[in-house]
C-alpha cells in the first residue's frame, strides 16, 4: 500500500490523537514484526513511554518517545490505526500498543495490522539506527534540481530502479515513480548518467508534483487495505495498461523493470 503520500496521510491522521499519550503495554502477535529489541525486552522498554512527536522519514512512521524512538515500516500491506481497547483482535493484527486514556475518551490501542507480514517495527535509542542509510527527503530543502542532477550523473543505473532505491531518494515507490517519470517524459530504463540538466530539473519538478498531489488527495487506495485516498483516480500511467495516455492518446504499455511492473507511454517517454 504505502509510499510517501500514504504514510504522510496516516501520520497526519494519527498525530493529534497520539501526542501527549502514554504507551502502557505492548502485545506482539507476530514476533518477526519486531526487528529490535527482542520480544522479551519490548514490554519493559516501552511501558510508560510518553509519545512526544509523530513524524515521517521516507516511508517510515516515527514515534518519538520519552527515551526511545519507535519506527514502523508498513511495507506492502501494513496499516496503523487506533481502535477502542475493547475491540476484538483481528486476523492480521501484528503489534498492539495499549494507550493511556485521553481525557474523556475510552481506553484505546494503536494497532499495526499487516496481512502479508512484510511490515517491520523497531524500538531504538537513536533514530540513526533505522534511518541512517536513507537518501534525502524529496519535499524538503536538501533535495534540489542540482543535487538530483549530480546524483544521477554519479551513478550509471536505469532511472526507475534508481528512483526506487531508498538510499538515493527516500519515499518513492512503484506507483509514484511511474507517475513521476511520465510527467517528466523520461523512459523508465533511461540511464541516469545520460540525463541532461534540464531533464533532471523536469524530473525534480515531477517527483515533487506527484508526491504533493498524492498528499493533497490523501494518498491512493487501490486495494482492500487502505481507505480514503483519492489519488488512484488520477493516475496517468500506473495500472492503466491498454488505456490511453492523457497527454497524447497513445496506448499505455506495461513492462517489467527490475522485477517491478512498470507503466509508461511509448510516445511521451521514448527510449532514445
- The residue ranges that bind DNA (CB under 7 A) are 1-3, 6, 32, 58-59, 73, 75-77, 91-92, 115-118, 155-158, 161-162, 164, 166, 173-175, 191, 219-226, 229, 258-261
Catalytic residue among 2, 138, 161, 188: 2
Task: Look at residue 255 and give its three-state secondary structure.
Answer: strand
Q: For residue 98, what are the β-bridge partners?
A: 25, 109
Catalytic residue among 56, 59, 160, 217: 59
Of residues 158 and 253, the one with the C-beta less far from DNA: 158
Of residues 59 and 236, the one with the C-beta less far from DNA: 59
User: What are the start-end ranges of the H helices in the chain?
Assistant: 4-18, 39-46, 128-131, 145-154, 159-164, 174-183, 197-216
**Minimum CB distance to DNA, residue 22 (Å):** 29
Cα separation, 259 vs 161, in Å, equals 9
**Minimum CB distance to DNA, residue 85 (Å):** 24
H or E stretch at 83:
strand 78-84
Q: Would residue 59 show up in a list of annotated catalytic residues for this protein?
A: yes
Of residues 52 and 116, the one with the C-beta less far from DNA: 116
**Minimum CB distance to DNA, residue 100 (Å):** 31
Task: Look at residue 178 and give its three-state secondary structure.
Answer: helix
CA atoms in the 13 A half-sphere facing the CB of 141: 0
Of residues 57 and 83, the one with the C-beta less far from DNA: 57
Of residues 220 and 268, the one with the C-beta less far from DNA: 220
Do 110 and 19 touch, CB atoms closer than 8 A? Answer: no
**Minimum CB distance to DNA, residue 105 (Å):** 28
The torsion angles phi and psi of 264, rounded to 5 degrees, stand at: -160, 165
H or E stretch at 62:
strand 60-65
**Minimum CB distance to DNA, residue 176 (Å):** 8
Q: Would residue 260 show up in a list of annotated catalytic residues for this protein?
A: yes
Catalytic residue among 3, 6, 8, 179: 3
Of residues 83 and 117, the one with the C-beta less far from DNA: 117
Cα separation, 268 vs 218, in Å, equals 27
Q: For residue 255, what are the β-bridge partners?
A: 262
**Minimum CB distance to DNA, residue 181 (Å):** 14
Catalytic residue among 145, 213, 260, 266: 260
Do 28 and 8 touch, CB atoms closer than 8 A? Answer: no
Cα separation, 16 vs 182, in Å, equals 36
| Catalytically annotated residues | 2-3, 59, 260
Amino acid at each position: 500500500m504505502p509510499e510517501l503520500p500514504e504514510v504522510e496521510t496516516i501520520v497526519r491522521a494519527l498525530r493529534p490523537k497520539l501526542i501527549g499519550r502514554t504507551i502502557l503495554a505492548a502485545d506482539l502477535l507476530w514476533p518477526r514484526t519486531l526487528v529490535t529489541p527482542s520480544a522479551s525486552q519490548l514490554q519493559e522498554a516501552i511501558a510508560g513511554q510518553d509519545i512526544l512527536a509523530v513524524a515521517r522519514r521516507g516511508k517510515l512512521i516515527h514515534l518519538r518517545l520519552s527515551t526511545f524512538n519507535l519506527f514502523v515500516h508498513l511495507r506492502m500491506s501494513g496499516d496503523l490505526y487506533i481502535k477502542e481497547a475493547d475491540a476484538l483482535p483481528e486476523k492480521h493484527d501484528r503489534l498492539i500498543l495499549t494507550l493511556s486514556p485521553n481525557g474523556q475518551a475510552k481506553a484505546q490501542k494503536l494497532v499495526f495490522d499487516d496481512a502479508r507480514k512484510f511490515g517491520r517495527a523497531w524500538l531504538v535509542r537513536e533514530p540513526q539506527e533505522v534511518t541512517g542509510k536513507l537518501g534525502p527527503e524529496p519535499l524538503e530543502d536538501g533535495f534540489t534540481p542540482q543535487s538530483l542532477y549530480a546524483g544521477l550523473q554519479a551513478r550509471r543505473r536505469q532511472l526507475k530502479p534508481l528512483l526506487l532505491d531508498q538510499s538515493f531518494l527516500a519515499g518513492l515507490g512503484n506507483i509514484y515513480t511511474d507517475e513521476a517519470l511520465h510527467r517528466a517524459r523520461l523512459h523508465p530504463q533511461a540511464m541516469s548518467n545520460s540525463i541532461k540538466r534540464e531533464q533532471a530539473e523536469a524530473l525534480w519538478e515531477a517527483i515533487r508534483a506527484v508526491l504533493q498531489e498524492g498528499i493533497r488527495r490523501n494518498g491512493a487506495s487501490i486495494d482492500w487495505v487502505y481507505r480514503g485516498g483519492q489519488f488512484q483516480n488520477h493516475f496517468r500511467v500506473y495500472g492503466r495498461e491498454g488505456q490511453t495516455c492523457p497527454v497524447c492518446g497513445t496506448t499505455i504499455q506495461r513492462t517489467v523493470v527490475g522485477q517491478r511492473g512498470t507503466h509508461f507511454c511509448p510516445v511521451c517517454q521514448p527510449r532514445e
